[in-house]
Structure 1
């Protein structure tokens, strides 16, 4: 039976069962499409990375003797729409059966379900064979429970997969070592040794530019630093385990203007495009810890495993449990516009300037920079979560909606009203000063609440509590914050509100 098999740009899993056995009468279809480049404005490195990875994967398929139809963005046969392309190929090649792997984005899932209704041939959907959970597993786990506490799900995953367990109990007697993983970076250990992966992507970049695709961010096409093949991804993973994992836990929340990556692994794009699997990432890291050739503390390995086994799988489960209504959640009724400097980093606030500059230069910022710098500022300035979400989805190389949306709309912006986070993740400048090296070189004083030199985060923090009190004072985790708010003098409250208004109406 002549079968067409669709492979999306984030379904680059060489270990999938599709690629075992006889490939006769199978045609694989992959396409670079304006449908995918244009639904938000993406970072140019993100577009390049996906196109490069897709091309390399298509060559791998061809080398295995597979029949591949690959549409480049400028291909004359490319209709720039997934449905139209598939229907056209089915007609031209007299396809008798259509097969696809379940998409991880709701919009694509719906598009393919609608396509199924239009097809007059047989069709079948398959699992991507990547995640450690099913789409419904988190919803089933939390059924009947009052809250979706990630920690509970993480314990379940550790037990189910027997990871960092010892006779049914957590290794070291504790499930979570997060309290040990909040050190500020001071440079005493020397510059972290980053993995060297560079490739020339000039050809792909030219094709994108000539096709008129709109993008943001910067790129050095002769020295592209992101892995776009399975081999490069494994190389970077092994480098992380050898040189960076030993300090990952300690400094995973730390921020420094001169260190774009610190001890982070840089494998998130590889994971989210399925070049490598979460299981092999966890297994490789744990093997490095168990071997003992490099001293790796339990807090380092547990902190890393929690990100992959716990948080990543948890976010996916929340996404599939909550869509499509989740996409429109705005429980705090925030409506302000995202400041212009989110697109060019031209702001006098040192933490935001450096975080956004790094994002524009590298299509990257780690989780605390996303949560407590850009996300914190967007929430404190009461920015429309639709705008915040579009920015995050576009600017980061690893941002695919299933992981980006619950992290942004839920964890960062509290737009879901507490489904993911038990309270809004907001802070004044004191937290940023505690975890970063931004404040010492900033023109603003992190210790002042009001006045022309006061850190904007301080007045914005207290103003947020004032303006959102009615919505949030029923949350027991906010009790201390509101208690401290009540101790402020009326004159200071007036000054705080005035100072906050300046930054909520300011564009840079």
Structure 2
């Protein structure tokens, strides 16, 4: 029974659940659509990154023998949403069912859930097991708690994964959290170790031209895009972080210095979120660096807490509380975002309005 397997822009993982079900008779659909690129004014770099990474991933799938239907942005009239893209693919290929891995956003998930009725075809939605904590596991953890504290969820994830754990299910170093050691101020003359950057081939330069043409009013400068767009390069970028930056990341992860935008941060969250990196692999590399005495415990624990603690916690909380969560306004914020939120010229904008810049004191 041939299937149409739909791969979204943040599902660029060879081990994706829906790809594990693929057979030579199936068709894999990937699409760059307006509704996903423009529902807010995404930074140009984000659009370049996702479109280029998608095109590179599709090329790999074709090399592996998969039948890929790839719709480039504005290449077909009338295709503005993922539903439109599926409609186009169904007109081209005789498939009998749709398969997709659950998506990461409530808004888009509702669109996906309408497909079975809309197309009158069976739709199989698979769990996104790239995350360590399933949504059902998070809901079970949250079900009998009055306060959903990340710290206690994080401890559950440490026990669940075994990361930085010693004997008798106790944390290495005798405590779970070394955050107090992650707040040092940087010496003013300390120089950052920058993240790895990349020159790009024709696929990315083509996407840069496309973004300048169709998203010219979005924030950012397209021409200085220097990020990885393949799994291979994303792994290189992360290993550079582990080998060169992680040792100082722990001490200075909350620090800031003027004119040093990265300090010792990995700048790899987008690679993880798009599927180019695997969270388990990343944490294992960090744990191995600690065990080899290349980095301190507060550096390794500080990083691992960000990805198996905060990242997994925020995802679980989002799905637990949606759709009402999106309308919560606990602090009753009413003022619109100022223009300098988008263009970044904060000092000129602040002085023009008479406000004083934040000195950080």
Q: With structure 1 as the length reference, what TM-score do the two structures score?
A: 0.66
When Rg is computed on C-alpha atoms for both structures, the one with the higher figure is 1
CA distance in 1, matches of 2:17, 2:102: 14
CA distance in 2, matches of 1:188, 1:195: 22
CA distance in 2, matches of 1:62, 1:33: 21
Aligned-residue offset at 1:212: 5.3
3-state DSSP class of the match of 1:317?
helix
3-state DSSP class of the match of 1:130?
coil
Equivalent in 215, 237, 240 of residue 218 of structure 2: 215
Encode CA deviations 1:78-122: one digit per residue, 9 max, x unaligned. Answer: 612111221232133222111111011001110011112223222
CA distance in 2, matches of 1:265, 1:191: 12
Q: Which residue of 1 aligns with 2:206?
A: 203
Maintained 8 Å contact 2:33/2:73: yes
Q: Which residue of 2 aligns with 1:291?
A: 292
Q: Which residue of 1 aligns with 2:252?
A: 251
Maintained 8 Å contact 2:250/2:302: yes
- Asked if 1:3 corresponds to 2:3, the answer is yes
CA distance in 1, matches of 2:12, 2:190: 37
Q: Which residue of 2 aligns with 1:97?
A: 97
Maintained 8 Å contact 2:4/2:99: yes
CA distance in 2, matches of 1:31, 1:104: 16
Q: What are structure 1's unaligned runs of at least 5 residues?
A: 354-380, 382-427, 434-508
Aligned-residue offset at 1:60: 0.5
Q: Which residue of 2 aligns with 1:481?
A: none
Distance 1:191 1:24, change over 3 A: closer
Q: With structure 2 as the length reference, what TM-score do the two structures score?
A: 0.92
- Asked if 1:70 corresponds to 2:41, the answer is no
Encode CA deviations 1:361-409: one digit per residue, 9 max, x unaligned. Answer: xxxxxxxxxxxxxxxxxxxx9xxxxxxxxxxxxxxxxxxxxxxxxxxxx
Task: Summarize the alignment of residues 411-426 of structure 1 with structure 2, pairs less than 5 Å apart.
Answer: none
CA distance in 1, matches of 2:190, 2:44: 33
Bigger shift: residues 112-121 or 195-204 = 195-204
CA distance in 2, matches of 1:19, 1:75: 25
Encode CA deviations 1:150-205: one digit per residue, 9 max, x unaligned. Answer: 00000111111111111111110011111111111115554425323232532112
Q: What are structure 2's unaligned runs of at least 5 residues?
A: none
Distance 1:3 1:21, change over 3 A: closer
CA distance in 2, matches of 1:193, 1:86: 41
3-state DSSP class of the match of 1:165?
coil
RMSD: 2.2
Maintained 8 Å contact 1:136/1:320: no
Maintained 8 Å contact 1:71/1:77: no
Q: Which residue of 2 aligns with 1:275?
A: 276
Q: Which residue of 1 aligns with 2:261?
A: 260
Aligned-residue offset at 1:19: 4.1
- Asked if 1:109 corresponds to 2:109, the answer is yes
CA distance in 2, matches of 1:288, 1:171: 14
CA distance in 2, matches of 1:143, 1:34: 38
CA distance in 2, matches of 1:102, 1:21: 14
CA distance in 2, matches of 1:202, 1:64: 24
Maintained 8 Å contact 2:208/2:223: no
Query: Which structure would you say has the larger RCO, counting Cα contacts within 8 Å and 6 or more residues apart?
Result: 2
- Asked if 1:336 corresponds to 2:310, the answer is no
Q: Which residue of 1 aligns with 2:310?
A: 311
Q: Which residue of 2 aligns with 1:470?
A: none
Maintained 8 Å contact 1:2/1:97: yes
3-state DSSP class of the match of 2:12?
coil
Distance 1:193 1:41, change over 3 A: closer
Task: Summarize the alignment of residues 23-42 of structure 1 with structure 2, pairs less than 5 Å apart.
Answer: 23-42=23-42
Q: Which residue of 1 aligns with 2:233?
A: 232
Aligned-residue offset at 1:284: 1.0
CA distance in 1, matches of 2:213, 2:120: 37
Aligned-residue offset at 1:215: 1.2
Distance 1:134 1:17, change over 3 A: closer
Aligned-residue offset at 1:50: 0.3
Distance 1:332 1:196, change over 3 A: closer
Bigger shift: residues 310-319 or 81-90 = 81-90
3-state DSSP class of the match of 1:4?
strand
Bigger shift: residues 62-71 or 196-205 = 196-205
